Amino acid sequence: MNSPLPAFAAVVVAAGSGTRAGGAKQWRLLGGKPVVRWSVEALLKAGAQDVVVVVSAGSEAEAAEALHGLTGWRAVTGGAARTDSVKAGLTALGGPDDRPVLVHDAARPFLSAAVIARCIAALDQADGALPARPVADSLRRASPDGIVSGAVEREALWRAQTPQAFSLKTLTDAFAAWPADETATDEATVVERAGGRVKIVEGDARLMKLTYPEDFDMAEALIPRTVRIGQGYDVHRWGPGESVWLCGLEIPHDQTLIGHSDADAGLHALTDAILGAIGEGDIGDHFPPTDDKWKGAPSDLFLKHAAGLVTARGGRISNVDVTLICERPKVKPHRQAMRERLAEILDIPLDAVSVKATTSEGLGFTGRGEGLAAQAVATVELPSR
Ligand code: MG
């Protein structure tokens, strides 16, 4: 957009119980972010001066958590029907009669600045703006038992989306005239019934409404992601013992690795690789060796923590590759079990996990049997910012 948008406000309807989506979908995570947060962020970024999020009674804390850290929004308790919720939002907003107000479904997360701009611009030409998509599929009428009984002309039909835009007074007056015993599917219907002209503007295919559980899979697939790579390296010294922990497995051996935790160099290198991929420092930042809490700790705890940070960012681990460098013990007999253990800890497919081993031909500290070294690489997909 070249010119800035005129001042506008927004009502985001997040009061649904979401029975068809299997739970209140507006609070569910999509790409690591609550569904409602996607559109509230989009509205604030586009310059909305006041965003009222209408929630059902008792959901105020969920809204506060979902929108934590954002400024320029507030929660308002809605009513039983959508009409009541939007009216409550408008009352809370207030402002001059000609204030543009966008009413948006929280369940449509992928709201673009372009759609917002088109809606507001259309208010120069009509009493309301309705983003919509043409109907691409042919339409059929069918009997309740699924037998087709004729086609429906799709020429003049549109799939309505949100946000729908009106001036504050237009929408408030239209609601005042709306029959109390009727329910309206959307605000354009209310304004149209009151005699207003509502103009269709170009919607967005990505502005889909999350309705059914499978819609979330489709929405996740629509989120642009960036591939990130991290690497890690770790060394532990050999000392007296009877077994050694490597890649989450305890292997009988005539020595052990010395360390503050269980000294599993494979898991430490891999934990650092994952932390590296997401720019979250290193294992020592998260689990300081000076803290007695981690004395003798099983290192799968560290790896799980790193994987959890990826999940919290809406990311996923694509693959990991660990190389153990030592003369002894022989790693090969344990490789498959190590891969299985890593796949289990990280909750990723087995073919996304590689464990390799090499000697250093008798050279260096690993060759002399003074210590074991481990290297790891991890690739992670994170939602693009
Ligand atoms: Mg270590």
Confidence of residue 3 (pLDDT cuts 50, 70, 90): low
64 and 200 belong to one structural domain: yes
265 and 206 belong to one structural domain: no
For residues 200-209, give the mean pLDDT.
Answer: 96
Residues whose CB falls within 8 Å of the CB of residue 101, separated by 6 or more in sequence, listed in order: 8, 9, 10, 11, 90, 93, 165, 166, 167, 168, 171
Ligand 1 center–CA 272 separation, angstroms: 10
215 and 363 belong to one structural domain: no
230 and 373 belong to one structural domain: yes
The rounded distance, in Å, linking the Cα atoms of 264 and 230 is: 19
Q: What are phi and psi of 353, to 5 degrees?
A: -120, 130
Structure confidence at residue 213 (pLDDT) = 87
The number of beta carbons lying within 10 Å of the beta carbon of residue 145 is 5
For residues 11-16, give the mean pLDDT.
Answer: 92
pLDDT exceeds 80 at position 1: no
Q: What is the pTM of this model?
A: 0.80
Give the DSSP letter of residue 6.
P
241 and 348 belong to one structural domain: yes
Domain assignment present for 344? yes
The rounded distance, in Å, linking the Cα atoms of 217 and 225 is: 15
203 and 265 belong to one structural domain: no
**Placement of tokens 């409404």 in the chain:** 209
For residues 306-311, give the mean pLDDT.
Answer: 96
For residues 358-380, give the mean pLDDT.
Answer: 97
Ligand 1 center–CA 349 separation, angstroms: 25
Q: How many domains does the chain have?
A: 2
Domain assignment present for 103? yes
CATH of the domain at 175: 3.90.550.10
3-class secondary structure, 97: coil
Domain assignment present for 145? yes
Ligand 1 center–CA 271 separation, angstroms: 10
Ligand 1 center–CA 249 separation, angstroms: 15
42 and 177 belong to one structural domain: yes
Contact assessment for residue 161 and residue 103, using Cβ atoms and an 8 Å cutoff: no
Contact assessment for residue 268 and residue 276, using Cβ atoms and an 8 Å cutoff: no
Helix (H) or strand (E) holding 77: strand 73-77
222, 252, 282 - which closes a domain: 222
Ligand 1 center–CA 258 separation, angstroms: 9
Ligand 1 center–CA 237 separation, angstroms: 10
Domain assignment present for 4? no
Ligand 1 center–CA 144 separation, angstroms: 65
Ligand 1 center–CA 297 separation, angstroms: 12
pLDDT exceeds 50 at position 332: yes
Domain assignment present for 148? yes
159 and 128 belong to one structural domain: yes
Closest alpha carbon to 309 in 64, 32, 90? 32
Ligand 1 center–CA 267 separation, angstroms: 8
> What pLDDT, in 10s, does the model give residues 51-103?
999 999 999 999 999 999 999 999 999 988 889 999 999 999 989 999 999 99
**Hey, what amino acid is at 165?**
A
DSSP letters along 310-357, please? HHHTT-EEEEEEEEEE-SSS--GGGHHHHHHHHHHHHT--GGGEEEEE
Give the DSSP letter of residue 7.
P
Ligand 1 center–CA 358 separation, angstroms: 19
222, 252, 281 - which closes a domain: 222
Domain assignment present for 368? yes
Ligand 1 center–CA 350 separation, angstroms: 24
212 and 317 belong to one structural domain: no
Which two tokens mark 374?
């481990």
The number of beta carbons lying within 10 Å of the beta carbon of residue 313 is 16
156 and 112 belong to one structural domain: yes
End-to-end C-alpha distance for the chain, whole angstroms: 20
Domain assignment present for 3? no
Ligand 1 center–CA 32 separation, angstroms: 30
17 and 163 belong to one structural domain: yes
Ligand 1 center–CA 309 separation, angstroms: 19
335 and 207 belong to one structural domain: no
Contact assessment for residue 100 and residue 117, using Cβ atoms and an 8 Å cutoff: no
pLDDT exceeds 60 at position 2: no
182, 205, 222 - which closes a domain: 222
CATH of the domain at 264: 3.30.1330.50
- Enclosing domain of residue 314: 225-383
> What pLDDT, in 10s, does the model give residues 145-158?
999 988 898 888 99
Ligand 1 center–CA 375 separation, angstroms: 11
Ligand 1 center–CA 4 separation, angstroms: 53
Domain assignment present for 118? yes
Confidence of residue 19 (pLDDT cuts 50, 70, 90): low
